[in-house]
Structure 1
Amino acid sequence: MTTTADLALQKCLDAIATTFDSVFAEIEGWRAVIEQRIADAAGMLRAAELDALVENLVVAELAAPGALIIGAGAVAAPGFLDDAPWHLAWWLGHANTFGLGSADPSVRRLEAEEDPASDSFRDYTALEWWRVPAETGTRHITGPYVDYLCTDDYTLTLTMPVRFEHRLVGVVGADLYVNDVERALLPPVRSIGGSATLMNASRRVLVSTDPHRPTGSLLRDAGDSHVLPVGASSLLLVVG
Structure 2
Amino acid sequence: MTTTTTLSADQVAERVATTFDGLFATIDDWRDGLQAHLEADAGPTAASLDPVVEAGAVSALAADGLITGSGFVAAPGLLSDAHWHLAWWLGGDAGIRRLATIDDPSNEQFRDYTTLEWWRFPARTGTRHLTGPYVDYVCTDDYTVTITTPVSVGGTLLGVVGMDVLVDRLERELLPLLRAAGVPIAIVNASGRVVTATDPRREPGSMLRLEGLDAALAPLRGPVPSAMSGRLPGGAEVIACGDTSLALVVGP
Aligned to 1:11: 11
1:206 to 2:195 alignment: yes
Aligned to 1:101: none
1:224 to 2:213 alignment: no
- Return the alpha-carbon distance in structure 2 between the equivalents of residues 149 and 22 of structure 1: 25
Aligned to 1:125: 114
1:180-210 C-alpha deviation (Å, 9 max, x unpaired): 0011000111111121110001110001112
- Return the alpha-carbon distance in structure 2 between the equivalents of residues 211 and 109 of structure 1: 34
1:36 to 2:36 alignment: yes
Aligned to 2:227: none
Q: Please, which of 153, 157, 166 is the counterpart of residue 168 of structure 1?
A: 157
Q: Quick one: which amino acid aligns to residue 202 of structure 2? A: R
- Return the alpha-carbon distance in structure 2 between the equivalents of residues 192 and 49 of structure 1: 50
Kindly report which structure 2 residues correspond to 1:38-187, keeping only aligned pairs within 5 A, or say none: 38-42=38-42, 44-64=43-63, 67-95=65-93, 105-187=94-176
- Return the alpha-carbon distance in structure 2 between the equivalents of residues 164 and 71 of structure 1: 25
Q: Please, which of 154, 171, 182 is the counterpart of residue 193 of structure 1?
A: 182
Secondary structure in structure 2 of the residue aligned to 1:70: strand
Contact 1:17 1:232 in 2 (8 A): yes
Q: Quick one: which amino acid aligns to residue 62 of structure 1? A: L
- Return the alpha-carbon distance in structure 1 between the equivalents of residues 150 and 133 of structure 2: 20
TM superposition score normalised by structure 2: 0.86
Aligned to 1:22: 22
Q: Quick one: which amino acid aligns to residue 60 of structure 2? A: E
Contact 1:147 1:153 in 2 (8 A): yes
Contact 2:13 2:247 in 1 (8 A): no
Unaligned runs of 5+ in 1: 96-104
- Return the alpha-carbon distance in structure 1 between the equivalents of residues 142 and 201 of structure 2: 21
Contact 2:104 2:110 in 1 (8 A): yes
Contact 2:143 2:204 in 1 (8 A): no
Unaligned runs of 5+ in 2: 214-233
Contact 1:229 1:237 in 2 (8 A): yes
- Return the alpha-carbon distance in structure 2 between the equivalents of residues 26 and 108 of structure 1: 20
Contact 1:11 1:188 in 2 (8 A): no
Q: CA RMSD in A?
A: 1.4
Q: Please, which of 224, 227, 233 is the counterpart of residue 244 of structure 2?
A: 233
1:156-180 C-alpha deviation (Å, 9 max, x unpaired): 1011011011011100010011000
Once the two structures are TM-superposed, the CA of residue 11 in structure 1 deviates from its matched residue by 2.5
Aligned to 2:221: none
- Return the alpha-carbon distance in structure 1 between the equivalents of residues 95 and 108 of structure 2: 28
Q: Quick one: which amino acid aligns to residue 74 of structure 2? A: A
Contact 2:74 2:84 in 1 (8 A): yes
Q: Quick one: which amino acid aligns to residue 16 of structure 1? A: V
- Return the alpha-carbon distance in structure 1 between the equivalents of residues 201 and 98 of structure 2: 38
Off by >3 Å, runs of 4+ in structure 1: none
- Return the alpha-carbon distance in structure 1 between the equivalents of residues 55 and 200 of structure 2: 42
Q: Quick one: which amino acid aligns to residue 195 of structure 1? A: P
Contact 2:10 2:239 in 1 (8 A): no
Aligned length: 225
